Structure 1
Amino acid sequence: MAVSPQTTRTQVGIVGGGPAGLLLSHLLSKQGIANVVVELRDHETIKNTHRAGILEQQAVKTLVDSGVDGRVLTDGDEHEGIDLRFNGESHPLNFPDLVDATVTLYAQNQVFVDLAEARKRDGGDVRYESEVTDVVDLQTDTPKIRYRDVSEGADPTVVHEVQCDILVGADGSRSFCRRAVGQAEGHRDFRIEYPFAWFGILTEAPKSAPELIYANSPHGFALISQRSETVQRMYFQCNPSENVEDWSDDRIWSELQRRVDGPDAFQLKTGPIFDKSVLGFRSFVREPMSHGSMFLVGDAAHTVPPTGAKGLNLAFADVTVLFEALDSFYSTGSRELLDGYAETALKRVWKAQSFSYWMTSMLHTRPDADPFETKRALGELENITSTRFGQQYLAESYTGWPHS
């Protein structure tokens, strides 16, 4: 039977060309498993969307060992711990000493750049500026992705179709794939909304400290992070409805400083602020992370507050588990690992949800918090920092668990 010019047949169809989708595409191609990636945004938009990135050691290893450009090692900023600051005092945690691991600061858009270049280098089929209009036949052996080419000059009335054996939804927190399933029988969404957000800035300034500072203060949480030697990323807890236009540079620096003030007279290093945003907080999990021949990875299946630095790392862990299942399926014909994907991935997802919720609750001050709740959080921070076992629990959770 003749194949329409608008139809492509492949083994794995991937909706979403962010880091998760591209990593899966890269790993599959290395094993000779054909795949097509369909992504709504253009390359430059994703490349220039600034998102913080703290990569666990296992995530760095996955990138390097799979042959992605090694910039994560040369340009990434390896960190050996964090600093918990409360009651105006700093409490450093040394990860190599506690759990023999580190983390690496490497922005998510740079991870995307490396993976996109690897797919281009290896001849990957990544279709940017492609708007998915439907995902169908998910309960069959031939699920399909239908999309329109929305690039300049393309005919938007032409519907293209990717036919595949397995369909993967890696299309972020507003996942078309997840919404296409809806609340099908046996599917359930778990979610909570937090009553606060992060006011985030990018600033041209030197580093204020060698490690990230997570600060609990009477005025609310603050995170003093880094991006490079000359550009820094910082956040402070705010109301979700906060308007960034109401905040001048001077007001922002004053607010950040009062949240890290203490007897040691610690001072932030300041500079011009060139990006301001408000990041809302929520936790979400879709169970199961599969539906027939469709499998969800990353933010399409779950989101976490950024306090525990788990978002991108969870996505990479999902990809690793799903890749191993797909490799087994195509090499042996067995669906055992594919059928167990959701259960395997969700074990790590819920561990990460627990850790992220715990870190968020311990470090932030709820708007309606009473004095008991505030004191309890400080007692928990004291308990964590005063014992090696407490420090090891935080260090192990922060640096990550095995992917499978």
Structure 2
Amino acid sequence: MHTRVGIVGAGPAGLMLAHLLHQKGIESVVLDTRTREEIEGTIRAGILEQNTVDLMTETGVGERIKRVGSVHHGIELRFGGRGHRIDFDDLTDGRGVTVYPQHEVLKDLIEQRLADGGEIRFGVSDVEVEGITGDTPSIRFTEDGAEEVLHCALVAGCDGSRTQTRSLIPHPDVRQDHFRQYPFAWFGVLVEAPPSSEELIYAHHENGFALISTRTPEVQRLYLQVDPEDSVDNWSDDRIWNELHTRVAGDDVQLKEGPIFQKSILPFRSFVCEPMQRGRLFLAGDAAHTVPPTGAKGMNLAIADVYVLARAMGEFLNRGETAALDAYTTTVLPRVWRAQHFSWWMTSMLHRMPGSSGFDLNRQLAELDTVTRSRAGRTLLAENYVGTPLE
């Protein structure tokens, strides 16, 4: 088998990269160990930056997002029993975010990829990338019991946070791993109920953080800060609702209850791999970096990576120019670190740190008051939340 770009991983990064390359006339093959049903059936939240929505619309995969996605023009920061709205329209010249789950993005990209005649090999196994330091890398894999070899000019490692391709960049000789584990987790529930708010609510409370989010008009996603060693078995439905009402207290908000049909605990960590390339291998998305979900940056960073990578691969494969590919890591890392900072800032400002004192709690409240009271503070938050231009 021969193609120009071999892509390991059919997540947002891998599928969007294949789509962008196709628009440049560049063939690629996407490989994933999961079946199509597993990929499309893994339910994940999604908040799309304006850049991501614009790029998907401009490249022909944004029709359903525009039709069924929920555009949000602000968020609420809640502390001291009062809500403080961050008005994206006013602060970012009309930009916003769109609530549209990640698995729906994947469905759109898979459907378009197959409609374009592109190859996605689902359910393969024993994936092994070889020869990345030479001119003719290859990817070995097993499909339907038979070993196959995919020869390509370039390889993209888009295989998520449990990546195997990252290990091809030797650590610590070549690769540095920047890592932070946070001392808390999110306890998330899915609820059959109408939305409690038209926009997301980020709540600071002495008991810990809470987030009121949404999936669809009928299903809501709610989160509570908990200890990472906690268990879902410790949380009855009554306890969940009591704690949500406590942390999101106030006369101006009323949480709408309903049956809870899913509970899970999500640990927090930040990670950056540097460099994001070696030879003919280039990492993108969660294979190269992960962020806490507080800033809603994960999927958007993956799309921003492959926007740069597709352009660089196009210059190399269509014109023989190497400068953009050589500079891939140095081009994308500043955005990655800005997203890390924003995610850390939102996380540290809103969560109760274990062992924190009254001084720490009041310092957080003063920071939130400073940010929401100042137009400059609100603008800084809004501009980072809706996303800075891809260029």
Report if TM-score (shorter chain) is over 0.5. yes
2:203 aligned with 1:210, yes or no? no
2:355 aligned with 1:371, yes or no? no
Tell me which residue corresponds to 1:277: 264
Tell me which residue corresponds to 1:55: 48
The alpha-carbon deviation at position 329 of structure 1 amounts to 1.2
Higher deviation after alignment, 44-53 or 188-197: 44-53
AA partner of residue 296 (structure 2): A
Tell me which residue corresponds to 1:5: none
Provide the secondary structure at the position in 1 that maps to 2:129. strand
Higher deviation after alignment, 172-181 or 347-356: 172-181
The alpha-carbon deviation at position 31 of structure 1 amounts to 1.4
| CA distance in structure 2 between the partners assigned to 1:399 and 1:25 by the alignment | 25
Tell me which residue corresponds to 1:224: 212
2:275 aligned with 1:288, yes or no? yes
| CA distance in structure 2 between the partners assigned to 1:145 and 1:132 by the alignment | 10
2:186 aligned with 1:198, yes or no? yes
Provide the secondary structure at the position in 1 that maps to 2:34. coil
Tell me which residue corresponds to 1:173: 161
The alpha-carbon deviation at position 327 of structure 1 amounts to 1.3
AA partner of residue 128 (structure 2): D
C-alpha spacing 1:265/1:331, structure 2 compared with 1 (3 Å): closer
AA partner of residue 41 (structure 2): N
Tell me which residue corresponds to 1:362: 349
AA partner of residue 85 (structure 2): P
Equivalent residue in structure 1 for 2:96, among 102, 110, 113: 102
Provide the secondary structure at the position in 2 that maps to 1:232. strand
AA partner of residue 204 (structure 1): E
Tell me which residue corresponds to 2:177: 189
Equivalent residue in structure 2 for 1:337, among 324, 337, 343: 324
Tell me which residue corresponds to 1:117: 111
Identity %: 51
Tell me which residue corresponds to 2:29: 36
Tell me which residue corresponds to 2:130: 136
AA partner of residue 328 (structure 1): E
Provide the secondary structure at the position in 2 that maps to 1:343. helix
Tell me which residue corresponds to 2:81: 88
2:8 aligned with 1:18, yes or no? no
2:309 aligned with 1:316, yes or no? no
| CA distance in structure 1 between the partners assigned to 2:318 and 2:382 by the alignment | 37
AA partner of residue 71 (structure 2): E
2:139 aligned with 1:145, yes or no? yes
The alpha-carbon deviation at position 362 of structure 1 amounts to 0.2
| CA distance in structure 2 between the partners assigned to 1:349 and 1:282 by the alignment | 14
Contact map agreement 2:169 2:277 (CA 8 A) in 1: no
Deviations 1:240-269, CA, capped at 9 Å, x for gaps: 12211232222211111111113x263210
Provide the secondary structure at the position in 1 that maps to 2:76. strand
Contact map agreement 1:286 1:301 (CA 8 A) in 2: yes
Contact map agreement 2:349 2:368 (CA 8 A) in 1: yes
Higher deviation after alignment, 180-189 or 250-259: 180-189
AA partner of residue 220 (structure 2): Q
Deviations 1:144-194, CA, capped at 9 Å, x for gaps: 111122xxxx22xx3211111110000000111002334153310000000
AA partner of residue 348 (structure 1): R
The alpha-carbon deviation at position 309 of structure 1 amounts to 0.2
Contact map agreement 1:318 1:345 (CA 8 A) in 2: yes
| CA distance in structure 2 between the partners assigned to 1:180 and 1:162 by the alignment | 17
| CA distance in structure 2 between the partners assigned to 1:173 and 1:10 by the alignment | 25
The alpha-carbon deviation at position 48 of structure 1 amounts to 1.3
2:114 aligned with 1:127, yes or no? no
Equivalent residue in structure 1 for 2:340, among 353, 370, 373: 353
Equivalent residue in structure 2 for 1:254, among 242, 246, 249: 242
Tell me which residue corresponds to 1:3: none
Q: Which contiguous aligned blocks of 4+ residues in structure 1 show a shift greater than 6 angstroms?
A: none
Equivalent residue in structure 1 for 2:315, among 302, 305, 328: 328
Gap runs ≥5 in structure 1 = 1-7
Gap runs ≥5 in structure 2 = none
The alpha-carbon deviation at position 330 of structure 1 amounts to 2.0
RMSD: 1.1
Higher deviation after alignment, 205-214 or 247-256: 247-256
Tell me which residue corresponds to 1:238: 226
Residues matched between the structures, number: 390
- TM-score under structure 2 length normalisation: 0.98
Equivalent residue in structure 2 for 1:159, among 140, 147, 161: 147
Contact map agreement 1:69 1:118 (CA 8 A) in 2: no
| CA distance in structure 1 between the partners assigned to 2:165 and 2:62 by the alignment | 30
2:381 aligned with 1:394, yes or no? yes
